[in-house]
Amino acid sequence: MSKTHHSKVLIIGSGPAGYTAAIYTARANLKPRLVSGMQPGGQMTVTSDVENYPGFAAPVNGPWLMDQMKLQAEHVGAELINDTIKSIDLNSNPKKAIGDSGDIYTADAVIIATGAQAKWLGIPSEQQYQGKGVSGCATCDGFFYRGKEVFVIGGGNSAVEEALFLTNFATKVTVVHRRDTFRAEKIMQERLFNHPKINVIWNAELDEVTGDGKVVTGVKIKDVNTGAVTDYKTDGVFVAIGHKPATELFKGQVTLDKDGYIVTAPDSTKTNIDGVFAAGDVKDKVFRQAVTAAGMGCMAALEADKYLAALEAAHAPAVKKVVNGNPKP
């Protein structure tokens, strides 16, 4: 039978933003409840070596790091629930979410930390070599390609930015784009065209990632006009065809931008709905880092705490002021 659980704060999502929000709200004695979603730990659970999360001298394993965040949240008193929110009403009072389990979660404040997913091409070899030479994040994995050659797939800001970033490590970067013009900002394009390490293959698609079963050794690139397939040697493939924020659930309630990301007030995690905050990749298409997501989780927790304190003060019974020994009406 389904149960109803009420908490002051409901956190949706279990990446760095969600767990950090849980840690801070728990330590503020708000007894938060975090519903972890379909992929507990989020995108970090598909990252093997994390070298850029501060606090660790040696690289750490992504799933391990997320497990530590989870344990830390539990240790300070957050309640973590394995369920996936299927529907939500953010305008009701209290706010009301329904899980896959049938359980109902009501809360005075909601922190949305559902993250985003890198888009993939969907070819089998891309999946086979993920983490073995195929990556969706140059900032995370570029360092491993020092002195090597890489391919970048895509033609938007992400692809161009990743290609430029990868020149810090790789000896040669080849960008493959399915059309004959980029969608990226002109200034970024100019930087790319002027870079001696980068070359572009236009009107082409990644047909297959090739390898020895353990690591990537090459790619098959298909000309979209002629259908001709050419083999290239490479050490890595960065797929940069965009990200998809997990905001389907909130459509029609929380304001989203044209790409589907949650819009928040400047320097804040506040959304257009009172008591609803958003943190991490679900509202960030620029930085997309675990450490920035964690920072935003902290911000959301502090803002939720402030919101709840104001709510409580507004509902507290009126205390008559005493002036010169006489109660003032």
25 touches 301 (CB < 8 A): yes
CB of 192 to ligand NDP, least distance (A): 13
In Å, how far are 3, 95, 271, 296 from 90, measured between CA atoms?
19, 5, 11, 20
Is 100:83 a contact under the CB 8 Å cutoff?
yes
Least distance between ligand NDP and beta carbon 155 (Å): 3
Of residues 133, 105, 130, 128, the one with CA closest to residue 117: 130
CB closer to ligand NDP, 259 vs 312: 259
Buried b (16+ CB within 10 A) or exposed e, 191-203: bbeeeeebebbbe
CA distance 250 to 265: 17
Active site residues: 137, 140-141
Least separation in angstroms between CB 136 and ligand NDP: 10
Minimum distance of ligand NDP from residue 227's CB (angstroms): 16
Smallest Cα–Cα separation from 264: which of 25, 292, 97, 273? 273
> Would you call 244 helix, strand, or coil by DSSP?
strand
Task: Quote the CA–CA distance of 88 and 3 in Å, as a whole number.
Answer: 16
- Min dist CB 177 to ligand NDP, Å, is 6
CB-nearer residue toward ligand NDP: 74 or 205? 205
Of 98 and 201, nearer to ligand NDP (C-beta) is 201
Contacts of residue 70, Cβ cutoff 8 Å, sequence gap at least 6: 14, 19, 40, 41, 80
What span, in angstroms and rounded, lies between the C-alpha atoms of 223 and 226? 6
Q: Residue type for 237, please?
A: V
3-state secondary structure of 198: strand
Residue nearest to ligand NDP as judged by C-beta position: 156
| Chain residues in the site for ligand NDP (CB under 6 A) | 121, 154-159, 161, 178-179, 183, 205, 241-243, 259, 285-286
